[in-house]
Each structure stands twice: as structure tokens, then as C-alpha cells.
Chain A
Amino acid sequence: MQFMALIYTDPARTPPMGAEMSNEYMEFTKRLKEAGLMKAGDALHPTSAATSVRVRGGKVETMDGPFAETKEHLGGYYLMDCADIDEAIRWAAQIPGARYGTVELRPVVVFS
């Protein structure tokens, strides 16, 4: 089954995305691909670049900033193809962001 691993971190308590951190993510991505489990994965620009969109009364409203004002921001994600949650947890625990932020695992709904 597919799991979305959402990486939440607090920018104030996260080491900067320098060369070392980049390497760690590249290394993790490489291993996930080699294991044949990687469906997708990306890093996101900070929430300062976020735009929130909604439609109310047929009118498009846009807002500068993220949907929810929280300390921890969604910074990136992986979409992984795992046998079950045990395997997903093992991989999620190796995502560099799990060491200082939180990785939320969400099973993906399959519409047949």
C-alpha cells in the first residue's frame, strides 16, 4: 500500500538546509529508490512563499501564507510504496527531518 510521509519541521529549531543536510536527503532518496519503494518526493519552499486559495460564493479568494498558522511547517514529502505500516515506519524513521521534526504517515486511499 502507498503511504504519504509528510515532513513537518519547526524552522526555528531546524538546522539550515546546508550541504550536509542536502546530502542526507539525497542519500535517503537514493536508498528508497534502490529499494523500489519511491513513488514521489519533493521539498517545498518555506511557508513565506505559500498562497492559500478558497472559493466562497463563487468567488476565488486568495490569502498570503499557509492554511494553518502552526510552529511546525510542512517542508516536504515522500510517497512510498510499502507492504504495511511497519515497513513505512522503518523508512519514515530514516528521513533526516524525523530527528528534529515529525513525520506524519498517511495511508493513501485507493479508488478502484
Chain B
Amino acid sequence: MTGTVAEALRRAAEGDRGRILAALIARLGRFDLAEEAFQDAAASALTHWERSGVPLRPDAWLIRVAFRKAIDRLRRAERDEAGAEALARLAREETEDPDMIADERLRLIFTCCHPALDEKSRVALTLRTVCGLSTRAIAAAFLDSESTMGQRLSRARAKIAGAGIPFRVPEPEDWPGRLGSVLNVIYLIYTAGYDSPAAADCDLCAEALFLARLLVALRPEEAEVEGALALLLLTEARRHARTDDAGMSLPLDRQDAGRWDWAMIGEGLGILTAAMARPGDGPYRIKAALAALRLRPFGPDWQAILALYDRLLVFEPTPVVRLNRAVVLAETGALASALLDLANLETQLADYQPFHAAQADLLRRANHKREARGAYARAIALCTRPQDAAFLARRLSELGPVDT
């Protein structure tokens, strides 16, 4: 019996954490109070469920009890004006039917990803509140101490309360920018997981996919959201094929396509097709299309990829996007123009390792061996992962002697 109760509580408190918290924050208007009340309710569940069995709807039970716990906490601080106001509101809402409790997670996501918070806090708060990761797990994933991460989360919650960050889906005029901020957070979570698969405490890639799927479910027919989910699926499908047995990075054309997750690729392509059929344009749609066009047997179709990079530059005119475009330009056969484009980016990307790796590769292909050697040396010096350095060192040794 004890096992069943603990298991039911774990399922409800962990599996439904984001939804329960969102419902609580929507009514209480305060992150800190919602989290405390939720913990009170979970503690109370152990006693009550042990005695009278697991309720039919554990999530609704937890939400209702958490409301009462919040009322208790507010009563204790009733002299506080904001507390009295929240108390009155709660008393009105307590009678509502638990089955009608709306999913408030969309509002929660937009609040956690508000641009008035700094980027790292947006990521941490989303993982903690929407995904339900522990502070310890988030700290480990971002190489912070648990206390530093705890302070960051407290500061973020205090800023939400103090700076008047509303618990609300943004107005239409703010929508594109605010949605961009949310998608950026999801993408940052994904890349953090992708770059450090060794941090086994939690799978950030899986959390990012969960968030993207949740967003599609809560806000269907939004092309940029679909684009972001498609991009993550098409990337995730190849995640385990991107290194060889020795942990050496493999470029796409050397990966074993048999190790790709084709069901996931199929799902990603289906969502991408729906996104592309909608009006307008946006960076995530374009990036997902780029990921799709690089896949065999569909591609790579370099001319089409080049056209997509030109569209992407409208939204992100950054040196890194220009670098990627130049690499694609070289693939279409315009090696000399591509090298010229790279030369123009040299000062801006002097410390960016992929720039030197790309330049080395193009110089090698253009048979400028002497310059290629210099670029390989710079690329190797800037490597952070030994596997990448080993790959480049092998390319450098294959270059052969300089003729002159």
C-alpha cells in the first residue's frame, strides 16, 4: 500500500508538476507562494492517501489542497494587503470544478521566458518550473553549484514579483518577439544537452523536446513553434550517429544513416511540411528546412540550401550565419567567392573555432596548401574537445608537403 501511495504521488507530483504549478500561479499570482503551497499539499497527500486511498484525480486533489494551504499561509500574513486581496480571490475560486481547471502552462512558459529576465535565468526557471527539474540537476547541467543556482532562481522569482512581469500570454503586438524569446530558451536547453551528453543527471535534449511538443499542443498551427519542434526532431534523430565509436565527430556525409532515427525524421518532416504551408516566414522554419535538406536521400541540394541561408540572413544577419552561407556557397562550386566572403569575416570571427576549421577546409580544397596549414593550426589551437582536434590534425597530415 505504501508503495502504491508513494508511486501515485510521485507520478502526480513529478509528471504533472508543471501543470499543477501553472494552475496555482495563475490563481495565486505568486511563484513563491505557489511552490510552497504545492510542497505542503504533497506532504499532506502522503498522510491522507495512506489513510483513505489514492483519489480518482490526484492532480485535482493536489491543486485543491494546495489552494487551501496557500489560504492558510496567507491568513498567517493577513495584515499584508496583497495577502488579503489574494485571499478574497481564492475564496471565490475554491469552489470551482477540478475537471474544469484550465491548462495554464502557456502563460507559465511566457512568464518564465520574459525578456526582462536574463537569459540564463529564463533557462533555469523554465527547467525548474515547467519541466520540474530539481535545482541540483539544473546546477549540474550548467556546471554551477546548487546554492548559486538556487540564488539565481530566487532572484528570478523575486524579479517577476517586483518588476511587474505579468502571468499572461503576451498581447498580439508583443507576440513575435516574446515567442522568439521562448523558442530561444527551448533551443538553448537543447544545445546545452547536445554539447554535454555526459551530464547524465538529466537529459536536457529530452526536456527541450518535451517543451517544444507542449508548446505545439498548447498553441497549435503556429508555424514558428512547429518549425522549432521540427528542427529539434531532425537534429535529435541524428544525435547518436554524430560520433564514431572512438567519440570522434563525424560530418553529416560520413555518418551511418542506418543509425539515424527514421521514425523521428518522418515526424519532423511532417511537422515541417505543415509549418512551411503556413503564410509568412521565420528563422525556425528556415533552420528546420535546412536540417531537412542536408539529409540523404533528400539532399544535400546545395542551391536550395543557399537560398534558405539568404532567407535566414533577413532574420539573423550575424557573422555565424554568413560563415555557414559561405561554406554552402563553396559546395555549389563557387569556391573563390566563398573564400572571399570568409576573408571579410576574419576580424569578427577571429576567436570562433568553426571559422578557422571552415577556412582550412576551403583553402585545402582550393589547393592553397600554405594558407591551409595556418588555418588548420589556428583551428586546432582553438578546439575545446580533443576529438575535434584529432579530426583536424588528421586532415592536416593528409594535406601533404607544401609544393613551393
**Which A residues are within 8 Å of any B CB, using their own CB?**
1, 3, 82-86, 88-90, 105, 107, 112
Contacts and interface: CB of A to CB of B under 8 A. Distances in A.
Contacts of B171: 86
A89 B168 CA distance: 15
Interface residues of B, number: 13
Contact of B164 (A90, A107, A112): A107
A85 B174 contact: no
Contact of B173 (A84, A85, A88, A90): A90
Given A1-B164, A3-B164, A85 B116 contact: yes
Question: Chain B binding site: helix, strand, loop or mixed by DSSP?
Answer: loop
B166 interface: yes
A82 B116 CA distance: 16
Contacts of A82: 164
B163 A107 contact: yes
B79 to A, nearest CB: 10
A85 B159 CA distance: 11
B100 to A, nearest CB: 26
A40 to B, nearest CB: 18
B253 interface: no
A82 B164 CA distance: 9
16 contacts: A82-B164, A84-B164, A84-B168, A85-B163, A85-B164, A85-B165, A85-B166, A86-B166, A86-B170, A86-B171, A86-B174, A88-B164, A90-B173, A107-B162, A107-B164, A112-B81
A90 B162 CA distance: 18
Contacts of A1: 164
A104 to B, nearest CB: 12
Top 10 A-B pairs, shortest CB-CB distance: A84-B166, A85-B164, A84-B164, A1-B164, A112-B81, A85-B163, A85-B165, A107-B164, A107-B163, A85-B116
